Amino acid sequence: DSGVTQTPKHLITATGQRVTLRCSPRSGDLSVYWYQQSLDQGLQFLIQYYNGEERAKGNILERFSAQQFPDLHSELNLSSLELGDSALYFCASSVTGSTNEKLFFGSGTQLSVL
């Protein structure tokens, strides 16, 4: 158990809908990362937050947004869903997000868009 909690574990929805994925980091970790893993793209970095502020951005679509709340949990919002958004979404956390820290990953949310 990494200590990172992601909910829900599975999500099935329809095209055009909006969903919210939730992540609770390990106790004491201030930085949260979001990744998308689809079969043909591998693990893709989406976005990183540190103590409520966006710190780094990857190839995150404009239809996707995220935020980190004062209690340090984070949410990833996916809107106008398309079939291609079906993927595993992982959250990870680290203490400060610096480049010499290890990341701890959650078990992921499996999103299926039908």
Per-residue binding string, other proteins, 19-58, x by CB under 8 A, is --------------x-x------xx-x--x-x----xx-x
Which residues, other chains included, contact 86 with Cβ-Cβ below 8 Å and sequence gap of 6+?
A: 38, 111, 112, 113
Q: Judged by CB under 8 A, does residue 5 bind other proteins?
A: no
d(CA 46, CA 90): 10
Q: Does 14 bind other proteins (CB under 8 A)?
A: no
- Would you give the end-to-end CA distance of the chain in angstroms? 31
Q: Which residues bind other proteins (CB under 8 A)?
A: 2, 4, 33, 35, 42-43, 45, 48, 50, 55-56, 58, 88, 90, 92, 97-100, 102-108
